[in-house]
Each structure stands twice: as structure tokens, then as C-alpha cells.
Structure 1
Amino acid sequence: MRITDLTVRYGPFTAVDRVSLEIPPGSIVGLVGESGSGKSTIARALVGLAPVTAGTIIGPPPQRRQMVFQNPYGSLNPRMTVGASVAEGLRLPRAERATEVARLLELVSLPPAVAGRYPAQLSGGQRQRVAIARALGARPELLIADEITSALDVSVQGTVLNLVRDLRARLGLSVLFISHNLAVVRYVCDLVAVLRDGRLIEAGPVDEVVTAPREEYTRALMAAVPTIGERLTGHGHRHPPVRPT
């Protein structure tokens, strides 16, 4: 996908200002910045949930872009079973849906029996994996992950991060991974783009940007992560920022 001079305005307020970004096929691109920097607005513009004031988006059509939101409980209907939620977007005959739901759940490392449960009966990490399974049901070319680990307990974040990496490898997905945490981005992404006040200020290979940032703002983002010094070695190696379970 190629985004050129993307601008999103709400009345006089400019949320995203002429952002250009490329997501190469099969890559995971991180989009980082503090709250209000425009990260989620870009994500919503890509799936048609925010108005595009100017600029171009060249890539798969909107129906081949799927978004996974930050709060897995809020994005799932509490009155629907997991199976019904995952099946909701499937374009298959009713008789084939149960088999496809089971396949999608197994793809995110959940047993098919989970289909009969309700969101409240699952852990936060399980709910987020259900949300990912539901997104995969549309057979997307681009998966947009909007802060998908920030609402999870630290002990299960690694499971979801490893799942994203595994899905990219198995399915050849392109992923736009949105986060405020550069340690997490370094672990999961190939490339990273840094946003500030709706503008792109720095971009490049993730290890390069993290170990030798050009911008003071990027250095400030690194300093904002309490254990950043322990998580980033500075030698080009990636380490899980949290313990996978």
C-alpha cells in the first residue's frame, strides 16, 4: 500500500497533515507517536471510518483492509457467542460457516470449542485473538492493528505480538501496527514511522530508527518507556518486550 500526502481535517482542525507512507507487501510497518498524534486517524481513514480531505491511497480496496481495535471487549458484541461474532463477516453458505470459524480460531491458537462461549467468559488475550480471527475472516491483504496490546495484561502481551509475527509469516499479510511503545514496535515490526501532531517526522528500518533516531521527539518516545534501556540492546537484536505465555 502507498499513502501519499494524506490529509484529514475535522472543520478547522487538521488531524493528519500530508502524511506519505508505504507498506511493502508482506511487511509489518509500525506507526508510533503519543496520544493525539494522528495514528488512529490514519488507521480509520484507511478503512473508511475517517474522512480523507486530500491525498491518495493506492493499494487493496477498503474491503480487503481489516482493523483490530485496542479494546477487545468493546469490539465484540457481549450478547453474541464467539462463533457468531467470527462468522458475522463471512461470505459463505451457512452450512460452511462453522468449519470456517473453527479454522479461523485455530489460526489464532484458540480451540474450536471457544466458538460456543461469550466474550465475558474469555480472558483479555483470548478476546483479542477472537477479534483478530474475525478480521481474518474477510481474507484481508492489509491488517491494521491499532494499539492491540495496550489494553492487555503485560503477561499476555507477548502472546499476541508473537501471533502477529506468525500470521505475517504464514499468510503473507501486510500489517500496519500502531503503538506508542517503541520497544513493542521494535520487536514486531520491520519498518517504523514516527508521527507528531499529525505529521510524519521520521521513518526507516526499525532498528535504525530506534538505535540512532534523528529527531529529539523520537528520543523522547524512547525515554517514555520505563524499561526501554533493558529491552533495547543497541546491537540490532530484537528481544520480546514482555514474557510470552
Structure 2
Amino acid sequence: MNISDVTVRFGSFTAVDGVSLEVPAGRVTGLVGESGSGKSTLARAAAGLTPYRGTVSGVEPGRVQMVFQDPYSSLNPRMTLGDAIAEGTRVPRPRRPAEVARLLELVSLPSSYAAKYPRELSGGQRQRVAVARALAARPEVLIADEITSALDVCVQGAVLNLLRDLRAELGLTMLFISHNLAVVRYVCDAVAVMRHGRLVESGPVEEVITTPQHAYTRALLAAVPRLAHT
């Protein structure tokens, strides 16, 4: 997926200002910045959820799926998990139960969870269901928007490991959004740093973390002491 000169404005406020970013096939690209930097707005534009100027190419319309920060608000509380996942599948109706079971097992949940409702699951389990629902559409690009920040610390690692496993098993192309460079380093191949609606630095994740070129990147690293001195 290629994001080229994308701008998003809300009235007189420019949330994203002429951003260009490549998300290579089969790789995980991190997008990092503080709250209000414009990273989530850029992601929503790439997914076709927010009007923008510029171009997003290299991906078919409707083949970008997002997983959001709060898994509970993104799932319909009145729908079983199986129905929520089946809603986005691209297989014929008679094959949907088997496809739902496959997707649940892919995210390390029992197929029997298809009969459950979101309220019956923990936050980490709900986020796994949200990932399964996104994968049901067989996306060319998966956008993960701060998907661990609403979870308990003890659960975050398990969800991150799930993403790494899925990337290895499915060859996923992913845009991974976070404010935490330690998390980005664990998951991503490359990283782009965003501030005030613009990209200020990008490159291979280890290169950006070990030899940051921009003062803002260095400030983000300073907020994670173990990374700042690596």
C-alpha cells in the first residue's frame, strides 16, 4: 500500500499534512507518535473511513481492514461472536460456520466461542475476536490502531505475540499504530514517526531506534529508558 501526499482537514484544522508512506507487502510498518499527532487519522484515511486529499494505491478498494483500540465498542453486544465474524466473510453462507471456527482457532480461541457474546469475554479475548473479524474479509492490509493500549499489561504481550504469529503464518501486510516505541520495535520491520500531522522520520525500526535523526524521535525514545540506552 502506498500513501501519497495525503492531507486530512477538519474545517480549518489540518490533522494530516501531505503525508507519504509506503507499507510494503508482507511487512509490518509502524506508525508512532503522541496523542494528537495524526497517526490514527492517517490510518482511517488509508482505510477509506475519513475523506482525504491525495492518493492511496496498491490495494483494492475495501481490502483494508482496521482493528481499533477498544474491542468492546467495536463489537455489537447483541450479536454472537460467530455472527459478528461471519458478517465480514467472503465465503458462501453454508460454509460460514466452518470459516468462523477456523478464524477463531487462528486467533487461539476455541471454536465454541462462536456462541458467546462480547460481554462474556475478557478484554484480550475480545481483541482477538476483533482481529478474527478483520481477517474474515481477507484483507490485503490490516491496520492495527493502538490495539493493546486499552488492555492490561499482562495481556498486551499475548496479543502482540498473536500478531507476530499471524504475520509469520499468513504473510500479513500490516500498519501498526502505537505511541510506544518499545512495542513498535517488538512487532515492526520499519517505523515512521509522526508529529503535528507530518512525518518527521522513517526507516528500518532498529536504525531509527539506535540512531534517531530527529529531536522528536529522541524525545519519544527518552520516554522509554530501556530503549533510549540500547
Normalising by structure 2, we get a TM-score of 0.97
Give the structure 1 partner of residue 81 of structure 2.
82
Give the distance between the partners of 1:131 and 1:72, measured in 2 at CA: 6
Q: CA deviation at 1:183?
A: 0.4
1:57 maps onto 2:56 in alignment: yes
Give the structure 1 partner of residue 44 of structure 2.
44
Give the distance between the partners of 2:9 and 2:172, measured in 1 at CA: 30
Q: What pairs up with 1:120-131 in 2 under 5 angstroms?
A: 120-131=119-130
Give the structure 2 partner of residue 137 of structure 1.
136
CA contact (8 A) 1:19 1:200 kept: yes
Q: What pairs up with 1:90-129 in 2 under 5 angstroms?
A: 90-129=89-128
What are the Cα deviations for residues 194-236 of structure 1, in whole angstroms up to 9, with x where unaligned? 0000000000010111111111111111223xxx3335762xx
* Segments ≥4 residues shifted beyond 6 Å: none
Give the distance between the partners of 1:183 and 1:133, measured in 2 at CA: 25
Cα distance, 1:12–1:146 mapped onto 2, change above 3 Å: same
Give the structure 2 partner of residue 230 of structure 1.
226
Tell me, what secondary structure is at the counterpart of 2:203? Answer: strand
Give the structure 1 partner of residue 6 of structure 2.
6
Query: Identity percentage over the alignment?
Result: 70
Q: CA deviation at 1:147?
A: 0.2
Give the distance between the partners of 1:27 and 1:91, measured in 2 at CA: 24
CA contact (8 A) 2:145 2:177 kept: yes
Tell me, what secondary structure is at the counterpart of 1:9? Answer: strand
Normalising by structure 1, we get a TM-score of 0.91
Give the structure 2 partner of residue 187 of structure 1.
186
Tell me, what secondary structure is at the counterpart of 2:35? Answer: coil
Give the distance between the partners of 1:108 and 1:145, measured in 2 at CA: 15
Count the aligned residue pairs: 230
Q: CA deviation at 1:169?
A: 1.1
Backbone CA RMSD of aligned residues: 1.2
CA contact (8 A) 2:148 2:159 kept: yes
